[in-house]
Structure 1
Amino acid sequence: MKVLITGATGLIGTELVSLLLKKGIHINYLTTAEDKIQNEERYNGYLWNPDKGEIDESALEGVDAVIHLAGATISKRWTEKYKQEILESRIISTNMLYNVLKNTKHEVKQFISASAIGIYPDSRTEVYSEDNTAVDTSFLGKVTQKWEEAVSQIERLGISVAKVRTGLVLSGKGGALPEMAKPVKFGLGAAFGDGEQYQSWIHIRDLVHIYYYILTEELEGVYNAVAPYPVSQNTLMKTIADVLDKPYFMPNIPSFVLQLALGEMHILLLSSQNVSARKILDSGFQFRYLSLEKAVKSALKV
């Protein structure tokens, strides 16, 4: 099998590439940086520039499936200019893949795209399954909706499409967890807001295995990529403190302080989504990290 990956050098992409190579899968990947191109026996890089509409179409040769992870990080201050980049990096790149698949001879049968649980409305009472059609009114909710709509057009080409709505990814190599652990290491860990908002999390190894499972089982449709047992934000921070053997007694950080420090992106820390993993479980997928403590220990290598 040969897979084309976008975002292959990012946090999730790097881990996914490692897994797929171990499974004997050949990988082509698209990158905007010439110095990131490698050509090895089963790992080959190709240039693209979605902003300029440029792509090396030979990247599609012999490819059975596309895994689309590319998109500007949301963990950077949301100026109006950067918000546009967050949106366009997802929509323009997806539209470009649609156009190249539409206009180029290829053998692609499957398209798997990243998405986010941020599409679900902020709620302390709802449990969100993939059937829920409500969309959060926040910037992130609207971005995710437009992103998924762009991905859906690929179905028109007779290609099977899957969307992976991802929760808080626990990895020691990047993302939110190392940032959350920093103040904890100094005994300054504290919950955000009232600390009662739901955090639907997933260990990065389980996340990339979900991608592999969807790929090999040829699943289609929307799948929540979250562990089965979401926790409160306070429980998450306390678990990090327990794993690092640090005290946890600081008062919660009020929402207005977070807003002053982070601007609009402070909603990432305060929004609550209790997201169900039932659909992926019912398909036969088995999680390796069901316990938050085990997941945090593994991610932080404690």
Structure 2
Amino acid sequence: MKILITGATGLIGQELTNLLLQEKHTVHYLTTTPFKSHKRQNYFGFHWNPKTGKIDDNCIIGVDVVIHLAGASISQKWTPSYKKELVESRIKSADLLFQLLSKHPNQVKHYISASGTAIYPDSDSAIYDEESNVSDHSFLGDLVEKWENSADQFKLLNIKVSKMRTGIVFSNKKGALKEMIKPIKMFVGSGFGNGKQLQSWIHIKDIARLYYFVIQNQIEGVVNTVAPIPVFNQELTNIIAKRLHRPLFLPNIPKSIMKLILGEMHILLFNNKNVVPKKVLNLGFQFDYPTAELALSNLIK
């Protein structure tokens, strides 16, 4: 199978690319920066620039599946201009892919888009599966809606569409977990707020396997891309501290303080939602790391 990936050099993209190449598939990837020839077999780069609408149409030759992971990081301060970039980096790039497939003969059968669990409202009691028809009317919730609408347009081309609603990705290379570890390692770690907010997460190995599972089984629609057991913020902080052999003696950080420091982006630390991957569990997917304890034992040595 030949698979085109955007965002192939990102956290998820790298892990997924390695898995696909290991499984003997061919990977085409799109990049906005100059690239060198790679010595890796079945791995080919093509240039694009969503801001200017340029794309090398050779990227889709022989491609069966398109995986769209590209988008500006949400882990930077949300100024008005950066909010615009967060939206446009996802929508313009998807629109460019749609125009390419609309205008050029191709054999693409499946379009898989990254998405986010931010679409679900905070709740102390709700359990969100893929059939939960709700939306959080915050900036991030609206961003996810636009993101998913940009994916749904590919149905007009008779292409299957999957939307991967992803929680916090745990990796020891980069991302949220690395940032959580830093203060704890320096003896200044603590939980946030009352620590009772449920956080949905997934191990980097499991997310790559789950994307591959979606490809293999041609799963359509919303896919909650999270581990089956969420973790309380305080519990997560305690597990990390235990793995690092560090004490936690500081009081939890109030929400008001983080709002002063991070502005609107502070909500990422206080999200409280129970998201379950019902669709893939019902289809037989087995997580290698179903609990935060198992995941962190693997990632923090």
- TM above 0.5, yes or no, is yes
- What's 1:98 paired with? 98
Unaligned 5+ segments in structure 1 are: none
Task: Tell me, in whole angstroms, the C-alpha distance in 2 between the residues paired with 1:38 and 1:89.
Answer: 26
What is the alpha-carbon distance in structure 1 between the residues aligned to residue 133 and residue 101 of structure 2? 28
The runs of 5 or more residues in structure 2 that have no matched partner are: none
Equivalences for residues 204-219 of structure 1 within 5 A = 204-219=204-219
Comparing 277-286 with 62-71, greater Cα deviation is found at 277-286
- Looking at structure 2, the residues matched to 140 and 235 of structure 1 have their Cα atoms a distance apart, in angstroms, of 25
- Amino acid of the structure 2 residue aligned with 1:230: P
Deviations 1:46-100 (A, max 9, x none): 0000111100000000101001100000001111111100000001101111111
In the alignment, the residues of structure 2 paired with residue 63 and residue 179 of structure 1 have an alpha-carbon distance, to the nearest angstrom, of 36
Partner of 1:160: 160
Contact kept? 1:112, 1:164, Cα under 8 Å: yes
In 1, the alpha carbon distance for the partners of 2:249 and 2:168 equals 24
Distance 1:115 1:142 in 2: 12
Match of 1:131 in 2: 131
Give TM-score, length-normalised by structure 1. Answer: 0.97
Aligned residues: 301
1:279 is aligned to 2:279: yes
- Does structure 2 conserve the Cα–Cα contact (< 8 Å) formed by 1:243 and 1:293? no
Quote the Cα distance in structure 1 between the aligned partners of 2:39 and 2:67. Answer: 19
Check whether the contact 2:191–2:234 (CA below 8 A) recurs between aligned residues: yes
Percent identity between matched residues is 49
Q: CA deviation at 1:43?
A: 0.2
Runs of 4+ residues deviating >6 angstroms: none
* 1:63 paired residue number: 63
Larger CA deviation: 243-252 vs 107-116? 243-252
Structure 2: distance between partners of 1:97 and 1:36: 23
Residues 289, 58 of structure 1: alpha-carbon distance in 2 compared, 3 angstrom cutoff: same
Query: What amino acid is aligned across from residue 258 of structure 1 in structure 2?
Result: M
- Whether the 8 Å contact between 1:39 and 1:45 is mirrored in structure 2 is no
Answer with 185-194 or 67-76: which moved more: 185-194
TM normalised by structure 2 equals 0.98
3-state SS in 2 of match to 1:224: strand
Match of residue 79 from structure 2: 79
Task: Indicate if the aligned counterparts of 1:31 and 1:37 stay in contact, CA closer than 8 A.
Answer: no
Match of 2:43 in 1: 43
- Check if 1:229 corresponds to 2:229: yes
CA distance in 1 between counterparts of 2:27 and 2:101 reads 17
Letter in 1 for 2:83: K
Asked if the contact 1:198–1:274 (Cα under 8 Å) also holds between the matched residues in 2, the reply is yes
Match of 2:144 in 1: 144
